[in-house]
Amino acid sequence: MVVDASGRITLGDGSANLRKTIRQLLEETHTNIILNLADVDYIDSSGIGELVSAYTAVRSKGGELKLLHLTKKVHDLLQITKLFTVFEVYSDEPSAIRSFK
Amino acid sequence: MPAVAISIPRRCRATTTNLRMGPVPTPYPPPNSSGMNTYENQGEGGAPSRTFSGSGSLFLAPSDLGEGCTRGNSSSYFSIASALLPRTTWVGGAIVNIRGVYPGRFCGTPGVEVASNLRRRSLRIPICFFRTNRELPTPNSRRAVFSLPPYFLTSLPSPPPPSAPLTAPLALCYPYNAAKIAQFRVVTSRMAPDTKHLEVTLETQVESVNLAEEMCLRLAEAAGFGEDECYRIGMSVREGVINAFHYGNKEKPEKKIHLAVDLTPEKMIIHVTDEGTGFVLKDVPDPLAEENLLSTSGRGIFLMRAFMDEFDVVKAQTGGAEIVMSKRLPNQDSPQANGSHGSAPHREA
């Protein structure tokens, strides 16, 4: 399942929407999720927390959450918070999808 | 593999890449010796119908947009707004209330028409669109105001003149957020003659986070910080206010968040004070430690430290925590990082 997110993942609606979407996907037993962040240009600490929370929620169901197309700001943010090593990050969709097979 | 799209509210911010410049039809004369420009509004038939003058940018209130449409201008709001959009070089700077521009004729000011005529004549006249909570005159004008893309209201690629009042960039976000601000005041010359000081008391609510970020972004832009630095300052303020909102005030609505900004010739200093019980910086867990990497919170302090030049937390007089952080102003000699050349009407060498 590829989730295309757009906008800002920040305290408030942005984080809440992401949480809701991931929870819904897990309820529908989609556990292999690719989060496309190409259109997400801004994430704050609350958004980072939400990404981590999504990551652990998906893993606890035996699945994987992978990130696709990071913008520079998001990339830098994951880098300085050392989360770049935690998440599997892809820059093209086919290889992200292939990685699940 | 099916795709699903989620929409997260986007707050579009202008960058120099999405500001397209249109041609300048007729060069407009530079300001005269009095420092005041006089622009003529030629009206529909090309004959000068009104003359007005001002020293800074133009202040357009929603009622002006309404009047502009209902008083015989054949163009719709939308076509006017879109005609203006690509040509807006910057907004902000000294805002001249249109009341002062048209003495005694506030209600009859066709703002969009005026702006449109200004823009046809020169790209160098700063225009500032103003959005307020004020009762809007007609459904049409309401639609017109809210149909303006957000970046129209936020683009500021060039700094306004050093003499511009500190309130100018803030005035853009204050009126339509007035209800969310408990107290708003600007004190100049309090500490040193060349230090500008501003204090805002914010309600303990989520919107205050966005509001504080937006205010400081505008100040940072006005102070001459480049795009990257503005992002870092905005993010730090955001994290500071989230910290006050969540950890300090425990999200209790009766408590307040105090935001203060000092703009000295060297740096921008930001204070965020809460009404909680305070905390000691060294007790904050390191988010980069192996055992905290997958923690869903606790990165705010780290980000502020990473993004600002100086960062500290002190005990406020009220007992709460006061975050003090600063960023050195960009080197005045170096070219502007955001690359908008020749669009700053008041820029001083």
What is the DSSP track for B266-282? SEEEEEEE-SS----GG
From A40, A49, A86, residue closest to B297, measured CB to CB: A49
- Tens of pLDDT, residues B137-170: 334 333 333 333 333 333 333 333 444 444 444 4
> Which pLDDT score is estimated for B231?
92
For residue A96, what is the nearest residue in chain B, using CA coordinates?
A: B1
Chain B residues with CB under 8 Å of A12 CB are: 206, 209-210
> Which pLDDT score is estimated for B95?
23
Residue B244 has pLDDT above 90, yes or no: yes
Per-position b or e across B231-262, b if 16+ CB within 10 A of its CB = bbbbbbbbbbbbbbbbbbbeeeeebbbbbbbb
More confident call, B291 vs B29 = B291
- Tens of pLDDT, residues B83-98: 333 333 222 221 222 2
- Tens of pLDDT, residues B118-131: 444 444 444 444 33
pLDDT category at B193 given cuts 50, 70, 90 is low
Check whether residue B168 and residue B207 sit in a common domain. Answer: yes
Boundary residue ending a domain (B93, B127, B158):
B158
For residue A11, what is the nearest residue in chain B, using CA coordinates?
A: B206
Residues contacting residue A100 through CB under 8 Å, at least 6 positions apart? A32, A64
Partner residues linked to B7 by β-bridges: A6
Chain B residues with CB under 8 Å of A96 CB are: none
- Tens of pLDDT, residues B312-344: 999 998 899 999 999 999 875 544 444 333 333
> Which pLDDT score is estimated for B50?
29
The answer to the question of residue B74 being in a domain is yes
From A2, A8, A17, residue closest to B3, measured CB to CB: A2
Check whether residue B184 and residue B152 sit in a common domain. Answer: no
Check whether residue B169 and residue B150 sit in a common domain. Answer: no
> Which pLDDT score is estimated for B215?
79
Residues contacting residue B39 through CB under 8 Å, at least 6 positions apart? B28, B51, B52, B53, B54, B117, B118, B121, B125
For residue A83, what is the nearest residue in chain B, using CA coordinates?
A: B293
Residue-averaged pLDDT of chain B: 57
> Which pLDDT score is estimated for A1?
82
Count the domains in chain B: 2
pLDDT category at B194 given cuts 50, 70, 90 is low
More confident call, B203 vs B305 = B305
- Tens of pLDDT, residues B12-52: 222 222 222 232 222 223 333 332 233 332 223 333 322 32
Cite the beta strand spans of B1-71 per DSSP E.
3-7, 37-41, 50-54, 57-60
> Which pLDDT score is estimated for A26?
93
Check whether residue B172 and residue B318 sit in a common domain. Answer: yes
> Which pLDDT score is estimated for A64?
93
The average pLDDT across B254-272 equals 89
The answer to the question of residue B21 being in a domain is no
From A7, A17, A52, residue closest to B294, measured CB to CB: A52
Q: How far is CA B158 from the centre of its chain?
A: 12
Residue B111 has pLDDT above 70, yes or no: no
Check whether residue B207 and residue B323 sit in a common domain. Answer: yes
State the CATH number of the domain containing residue B297.
3.30.565.10
> Which pLDDT score is estimated for B276?
94
> pLDDT tens, position by position, for chain A (101 residues)?
888 888 789 998 888 889 999 999 999 988 999 999 988 889 999 999 999 999 999 999 999 999 999 999 999 999 999 999 999 999 999 999 999 87
Question: Which class would CATH give A2-98?
Answer: alpha beta
Pairing of strands B181-188, B127-129: unpaired
Check whether residue B265 and residue B193 sit in a common domain. Answer: yes
Boundaries of domain holding B60 = 38-158
Q: Which amino acid is at B20?
A: R
> Which pLDDT score is estimated for B148?
35
- Tens of pLDDT, residues B206-224: 888 888 887 788 778 777 7
Query: Nearest-CA neighbor of B116 among B151, B157, B155, B74?
Result: B74
Residues contacting residue B161 through CB under 8 Å, at least 6 positions apart? B93, B94, B346, B347, B348
Q: What is the predicted ipTM?
A: 0.93
